[in-house]
Structure 1
Amino acid sequence: MIGGRRKAALAATVALLPGCAAVVPPTTTPAPTVEVARPAAPVALQPIRWTGRAIQGGLITGIAPAGTQTLALDGKLVPVASDGRFFIGFDRDAAPAATLVATAGDGRSTQVAFSVAPRAWDISRLPTLPKVPVPQPEFAARRPGELAQIVAARAMRTDAAGWAQAFHWPTTGRISTLFGSQRIYANGEAGSYHSGIDIARVTGTPVQAPADGVVILAAAAPFTLEGNLLMIDHGMGLNSAFLHLSRINVSVGDHVTQGQVVGFVGATGRATGPHLHWSLRWQGAKLDPLLAAGPMPGD
């Protein structure tokens, strides 16, 4: 019988003989740890900065955040200048809420939810007075062509930048009719609300451009309602209209500067006396000139 020590020595000797492989117990090597890079969270757009009043007939200017590709007010696209500045307005009958959304090219967005303040309009109720119809048939024959000129003018886009200026009054004097005022006649029939502001002045009083702009309509002959009508584009979808002028001093395509005399007060068209009717529109929304130019000097 071979002793234990001899068996161990023999096994060691066999393991070292040529052609004999040593038996090595298997070992387990842990798998290397792989770090998975996680995508960085997208950087949110900065807030929209704005100043002005969210009120019926009011207007706001602001700056869209860097990276903004589209800006929209309740789905309506808002033009944005190269430096990010923009202009928006709220119609006389604007809803109580509105949302302005800025969206970047990669889908990131930021928004402002406006609570649009209501206005108490000057409503005159005349239950015993029937609404006076507009004279026919001359009006019916001429009006479609006049409206076509107004629509075409408002569709024009120019390089005007007056929208960014602080607006001045085109003339000063007694305000005879406020923006938004309306008459309710017999049987509850409502007249159209007043879309601008009336300033009572004598015929021949100079009318100045309230801000820089480009002339987009200068009536060659008095319109049935507006009389001698002048319209100036201030850029970004904002335009002024001046009604009942006795004379127009500029032509379509002219670039005008703030304070430049562009016409003279009159009583042409449907007017009961000499005055200037000044109205403002932004992309179809009717705005209150009083909120654009501030209190009438002297008031």
Structure 2
Amino acid sequence: MHTPILKLFPPPSEERPLEGTYLDPSLREQATARNRPWVIANFITSLDGRIAVAAEPGLPPAIPKDLTNPRDWRLFQEIAIQADLWLISGHYLREHAEGAAQELLQIEREPSWSDLLAWRSSRGLPPRPAIAVLSTRLDFDVTDPLRESGQSPLILTSERAPRGRVEALASQGAEVLMLGDDRIEGSRLLDTLHQRGHSLIYSTAGPRIAHMLLRQGVLDRLYLTIAARMLGGVSFATILEGERLMPPADWSLQSLYFDPHALDGAGQLYACLDRRTAP
């Protein structure tokens, strides 16, 4: 973990420690200076564009062990720890209930990551970010991931949500908000979170939610780890899942690092990109 990575962009090229690469004090400053929350997301993808692959026919795509690695996971924690609120999906909660999903924030369990707890504490932030679930079906229950932040679970849905599930989640202590008629509206989502004092929003809700946020023009920054490894597979997931974006979404590279020590020496790139907006 202590072997260095190589900064490729912006110049000059130079080595630096992996730790702290994404702990950027200006990130929260930029977010709080805006008149709406800043939304960020991250993914790790193979060289052939897979973020998840089905282990065998008939099974849903899952993040393969050939892709996950502790060096990328460290940077994931650095991104997540800076947020005021995380957006997660009902799909994640269903997988978590089945024991098939990773815990999102593991800094309390990893002594070598104590600097991340200190980073958050030194800025007067609560120990954990708040959590909001984006879902229209609401086919999950209020479980541990929603309680660990110490705040009332927040469920964001649309008027299409089954009324029985709305009542069931409310009876479990969740606050359920309708933010659209047929689908969740990005502008109402951001207004709601802004009114609650959340400036930096981190989406770990997967490719469908990423598509929704991007289509509605509210996804601002993408952290993308590109593993120098191809996976193949017939059934797989990519960064976005949804209809064709018209016009396409363009991005501007902010930073790029190469890590030659990851994945048994295959290496991986760490890219940070901001969404380009129309002039």
- Which has more radius of gyration? 1
TM over 0.5: no
What TM-score comes out, normalization by structure 2 length? 0.22
Instruction: Name which structure has the greater RCO, CA cutoff 8 Å, separation 6+.
Output: 2
Structure number having the greater helix percentage: 2
